[in-house]
Amino acid sequence: MKLPVIKHLTNFIEENDEDFVTETIETLEALTEVPSLKDEELDVIGELISNMYGALEVNKMIKEGTPKKEALNAFMQRVMGAIDN
């Protein structure tokens, strides 16, 4: 996951609607079922999906009253904590 990408997507959600991101995730998940995709292509799609789910999670925290910067940092700390374990 990349914080700049998640931040950009969070801004997109604020300016538009989270439904766009949710529908994009569904589309990308459907694409992963194409049998002719190479591993590298699946990795890119997976990274995009992960960043979008991250942005949705950050957006949820913001809706609950967490300031954006704090929500982004808290999310990345959780991700890093999960990786370290």
- Count of alpha carbons within 13 angstroms of residue 65, beta-carbon side: 0
Asked if residue 84 has pLDDT above 70, the reply is: no
What are the domain boundaries of the chain?
Answer: 3-84
Q: Look up the pTM and report it.
A: 0.89
Q: What is the full DSSP assignment across 58-82?
A: HHHHHHTT--HHHHHHHHHHHHHHH
Q: Which residue has the tokens 């991101």?
A: 21
Span 46-80, pLDDT tens digits = 999 999 999 999 999 999 999 999 999 999 888 87
